[in-house]
Each structure stands twice: as C-alpha cells, then as structure tokens.
Amino acid sequence: MNATALADLSADELTALLEEQRAAYEQLKSRGLKLDLTRGKPSAQQLDLADELLRLPTTTKDSAGVDVRNYGGLEGLEELREMFAELLWVEPEQVVAGGNSSLTMMRDCLVWLVLFGGVDSERPWGQEEKVRFVCPVPGYDRHFTLLESLGIEMVTVPMREDGPDVDAVAALVADDPTFKGMWVVPTYANPSGSIVSQDVAARLAAMPTAAPDFKIFWDNAYALHHLTEEEAKSADILTLASAAGHPHRPLMFASTSKITFAGAGVAFLAASTDNVAWYLGHLGNGSIGPDKVNHLRHVEFFGSPQGVRDHMVKHREIIAPKFAEVDRVLTERLGGRGVATWNTPAGGYFVNLDVVPGTASRVVALAKEAGIALTPAGSSFPHKQDPDDTNIRLAPTMPPLAEVTEAMEAVATCVLLAAAEKATA
C-alpha cells in the first residue's frame, strides 16, 4: 500500500496515481454493483430481534385495568411512560408516549408554535416578521427540510465533538429575538457522532436569549444506541434548564424506531409539565388517544428499563462489526493519503466522512455511476448546501457486512479518484 499524501507527490506521480485510480474505477464499474449506504435504517437481522412483538400483547388490559383496545389515554400508557422516563432520565409526568414517529412529534410542536405560540410566547411565531433557528452542522437532513417547509430561516454553527459550538450559539441568540430555537441531537449525533457534554448542555440551558420563548429541540434519537461497552449518558437537559430558570426551553424527543421496529415503534416527547399540557392540549384536537395496544406490546416485550438496555446490546453485536469494517477499509485505503478524514462513532447510525473540499459531489456521482448509492452530498446542511462540498454521510447498518466491505472499497476508490482529478486539474 502506498500511503504517501497526495500533496507530497510529484506531478508525474500524481498523473500515475490518476491513471491507476481511473483503471480501478473502470474495473469497479464493470462489476455492475448495486449497493446502498444512504439511509440509516436497521437491517432485517435487527428487526428480527423484535419479532416477538408480533405475538404480543398477551392481555388487553393495562395495570390499572383499562382496556388498551379502546379510545383514551392521550398521554400514552402509564407503564411505558415510566419505563422510558427512567431511560431518558426524566420524570414519568414529563413524558408523553405517542405514535411511531418522533419526527412527527417535532413537526407537530413546530407547527403549533407557529400557529399558536408556546407556553412562554408573547404571540404565535407565525405573527413574527421573521423566525430563525440555529442549526449545528453537519446535522440531520429532515430537521432542515422541516424548518424549510415552514419558512423558518436557518443559521448554521459548527458541531464539535462535545456538541454545538456554544459560544457561537450564545452570540447569535443573546440579542436577536428572531432566533426562536435550535436543533440539538445530544447523543451520537446524526451524522457527526458527537455527544453533548454536561458543560455544553448546561450553557445551552442557561444562556440568555432575546426571545422569551426560545426552544431547544433536543432530539435524543440515539440515546440508547451504543456501539461500545461504554454507554454515554445524555446530559439531563430538563433539570439543567429548570435549574437555570428556563424550564420550558427544552423539548426532548426519542423513539424506539431503531430499538424495535422503525415503522411500528413508539415515539416519546419529554418536557416541563406545562409543555406537556400544552402539547396534549393541541394533540387532543386531533386525536382521541394513541395506539395503546402497541404501547402495551412494548411494555411486555421489554419487561423493564433494563430489558431495553439488554436489547440494545443485541443491536450492538450486529452493527458494531459494520462500523468497524467502514473504519478498517477507509484506514487501509485512504490512511496517510491526506484525502479524507472520518469519525469512529461510539454510537448512533452514521459515519461522517469529509473528503477533499470541492469533491464530495463528485465522489457521490462517481459512486452512483458504479452502482453505489450514497446520501447526496450536502444533505447534512440546510438547503442541502455544503459550502465546502466536503461532507458525505455514510450509513452502514442496513446492508449485510460483506456488502458494507464491498461498498466501502468502492467509496475509497471514488474518493481517491476525485482527489487525484482535483490535484491534477
């Protein structure tokens, strides 16, 4: 393996490398591959882990004797709320168990803030001249498209290893009341793998904001999705915000989408009890109650909070080798070349690959032509625009391990070819 950085190669050596990579790429194309590293979906093997759910629940009554088949119980089944309150480090009365999608809960909160305002709003957000959100980047594409769909402007700040650049956030929101909120994926962020430190969380909870109704959308989608035996504990944002005198600032979200079934799990909202009442008040105009049969099924399946943690170990055993494989191939093929950096996440569903600036779209296009679907370049940025055209999000959970290997070998070839093209252009 020649591991000389491209920057240290002579013009002739670079041309030779370009020819070599072109040949490798032609050979790759001729194989007619059809591989997909786009979306962070669980594999069939992971979904199989929860198949017992298809035979549950064994009873139709909850512990209070209420028939779960009937209407009612808007806040969700008590036992399930208690179970996930413990897992999310909040109190049961702060938790709502809803339908299968936490993204829908986030959408509902945003829409109601725009239409009606929050518990601490002077007026509906929709009556403000301008509403803006702070968006740590790279971030989750659907967060950004959701804001875009509602006409909420996005201002980016860098995402660091310990969470959003809190100095940058604090500077934006301190004097400008158009900033009404921000996204935070606190644990194993999509796609950077970052974990918000206690210190950053405390500062976000306490920072002065010009808007009295500033909201932190604390999307803890990967709270329990550890890839190593060391299990990161998310910062307790509700307590921190409450202690700092901003109890209504955070809205926390989570779900079992990547714990049980991505399409038939349970989503959770956690917030101050006033926020919970606000949420249920609006929800009640459009729902007589959630799918409590599914709630009970989940309670029976897990048995206890520890049951959820034990279940996540089984996921880890399936997907950790895939993440290790991504790192192995990238290290072997690109290590020392100076053409890419990537993270080795301790949890979550993504690997964040940064290639030579200006080549990410080219890499994705090359991969596509060779039959490997990658998330479009720029997806992790508002309006799908990565100013440096450098970021690529890899999602290795869905394909079988052998396909991850094959896809990553192909990605490495595309990264090298695009870098060699640029260096010789």
Name the site residues for ligand PMP (rule: CB under 6 A): 40, 101-103, 140, 185, 190, 219, 221, 255, 257, 267
CB 81 within 8 A of CB 92: yes
Unique residue bearing structure tokens 């202690």: 243
In the chain, % helix, strand, coil (3-state, to 5) comes to 45, 15, 40
Q: What are phi and psi for residue 356, nearest 5 degrees?
A: -55, 125
CA distance 283 to 97: 12
Nearer Cβ to ligand PMP (105/407): 105
User: What element of type H or E holds 205?
Assistant: helix 198-206
Nearer Cβ to ligand PMP (219/236): 219
Distant-in-sequence, close-in-space partners of 232: CB < 8 Å, separation ≥ 6: 187, 188, 195, 226, 346, 347
Q: Whole-number minimum distance, CB 257 to ligand PMP, in Å?
A: 3
Q: Whole-number minimum distance, CB 369 to ligand PMP, in Å?
A: 26
Q: Whole-number minimum distance, CB 136 to ligand PMP, in Å?
A: 11
Q: What is the DSSP letter of 383?
A: G
Q: Whole-number minimum distance, CB 149 to ligand PMP, in Å?
A: 15
Q: Whole-number minimum distance, CB 382 to ligand PMP, in Å?
A: 15
The count of other CB atoms within 10 Å of the CB of residue 417 is 24
**Helices (DSSP H) in 4-126: which residue ranges?**
11-30, 44-48, 78-87, 102-116
Helix (H, G, I), strand (E, B) or coil at 384: helix
Burial class from Cβ neighbours inside 10 Å (0-12, 13-18, 19+) for residue 175 reads exposed
Q: Whole-number minimum distance, CB 40 to ligand PMP, in Å?
A: 5
